[in-house]
Amino acid sequence: MKFNYLRRIYLSDTDAAGVVYFAKGLEICHQAYEESLTQRGISLSQMIQEGKTALPIVHAEIDFLRPLCCGDQIQISLIVSLINNSEFAIAYQISPVDNLAQILVKAQTRHVCINPRIRQRTDLPAIILEWLG
C-alpha cells in the first residue's frame, strides 16, 4: 500500500540551527503513519483502549539527504510491507511538494504486533493486514 501525507514544517519542528533534527523527523514520519491508519478507518486509540494489540516500533532509521527547514511544504510517501504474520515495515520518503522527484529524507520503521498484557508476539489483526494490502 502506498499513502501520501502533506505537511508543513513548523518552527517547533526545528532545532536552534533552524532545521528538523532526527527525532523530530521520525515523529513527522510517525504522524504520516497514524494518518494513513485513520484514513483507512483504523483507530489507534481504540486499539490501545481495548488492550489486545500493540504495534511497537522495534527498529527505526532516518537519513537526511537535505535539510528540512521552517516553512517547507512537504509530502511524506509511505510504502508498507508485510514481513511475516506478526511484523511489518514502513518505508518513508519526504519530498518538497513542488518537486516530488527530489528526495529530502528517507526513513524506515519496523513494527511488531504484540499482546500488551503478556508482552508477547501475536498475529497481526485482520484490519492491519487489510491496511497492508
Catalytic positions, please? 15
d(CA 55, CA 44): 9
Q: Point out which residues pair with 89 in neighbouring strands.
A: 81, 110
Nearest to 61 by CA among 21, 19, 104, 110: 110
Give kind and range of the element (H or E) at residue 107: strand 105-112
Q: Is 127 helix (H, G, I), strand (E, B) or coil?
A: helix
In the chain, what are the helix, strand and coil shares in percent, each to the nearest 5? 25, 40, 35
